[in-house]
Structure 1
Amino acid sequence: MSHEAVFVDLDNTLYPYQPCNEAGQQAAWETATDRGYDVSRAAFESLYSRARAAVKREVSETASAHDRGLYFKRAIELQAGTPNAADALALADAYWDAYIDALSLFDGVRETLDRLRDAGLDVAVVTNLTTRVQLRKLAATGLADRVDCVLTSQEVGREKPASVMFTVPLARLGVAPADAVMVGDSVASDVVGANGVGLTSVLCNNDRTGLTGRESPDHRIESFRDVTDVVL
């Protein structure tokens, strides 16, 4: 089967998320203690988790559900009993600065994207999160100039697996669903979403088994560089 476009998820598909998140949380905690909050790292993580859960309940299935600024704003309110805009901004900035500094792509990502585009395929990053943060990641890793389209869930007001997250980049690139591939690490977001719209679904960096129906990917690959075996 020939393909005209490859859609790729960003987080945990092109780079490992956990080391970045750990670096970000450490930096945010250090900033909190520097600004006078008497809280241990363990207590800080507990506050963060409670705040994150509350935000996700209130704004689920939107890009705001991932907004660290909202998490830290709520965490400060839980800790101090009152909002503090300056501190919330400082913690969020510290988190994302450290996160970006720790970001390192999986082996072969740049080379694979170059191969796809050299072969005449359009490449789109289709990602759940806020636009500014995702653009920072793409710029910091040198990927911004290697893709033809970027769509974040903030732009359309819905998150994968919502069909609009796939139909919008299809329309922008002028590609039919049957001619596009979606590569991602999430069954619920990437595979289910792609299957629902009619894209070829490729599950990457995920060894989950027993998948059936809309959760069943068309292909599995162990690393992103293997996507060329599917589309070229």
Structure 2
Amino acid sequence: KKYWNKLLHLFSILQQHETSRKRSNPTPSLPVRSKSTVASEKQCQTIETSFGPCSSCLKYQEYVQNSSESMINLCHLYNLPSSLAHHRCSTSTTCESFNDMSHWIDSQSKDFDRLSKHLEYLHSTLNKTKQDLDSSEYNSKQLNETNHHLQQIIHNEKESKKKLEELHEQKLIEIKKDNDQYQWNLNEQLKLLTTQKSNLEQRLKEITEESTSRGEQIEKLG
């Protein structure tokens, strides 16, 4: 019972792999047996034929061999060794003995365990790959955010530098303008002082001449 439960579980997992094979190689469906046919099959065994295989046994063996063929194909698909393939090569008779069928079932169980472990490995590998992909996407997102942040900082620094340069240039213009105005004022003051000096010198000369003239007049009167 445990074996058949495991076998049915495997077939349900690997059903999608067998769908394409069954479509490409369809097998004719077995005719539906009537109750009378089943009854006749049950009664077909006689003392003379009791040592030969009954139809139910043959169909059971055919089913086991067909299901084994599917498992062998799956093992080959995943590059796995197959106990069933080895057992199939060692048997050639159409009707298997009880020991042969026990070996078939034992080989099926081994292949089933082998396929189950491989599927678990694929599942764990897929999960690990998915985790790595999620981690890579997260790291990529973090790097993009960091890069965007750095780009924003660089942009802000450039804007700040540009504003500082503009302020510096404007300040230089204002200083130059003030300096030019100061120079102009100094020149104007210098011109004014020069003019005043000339006027004072001229006035001093006139006073000196006038004083000399009066002195001479006083001397003449004396």
TM range (shorter): under 0.3
Higher strand share: 1
Q: Give the greater-gyration-radius structure (CA).
A: 2
User: With structure 1 as the length reference, what TM-score do the two structures score?
Assistant: 0.22
Higher helix share: 2
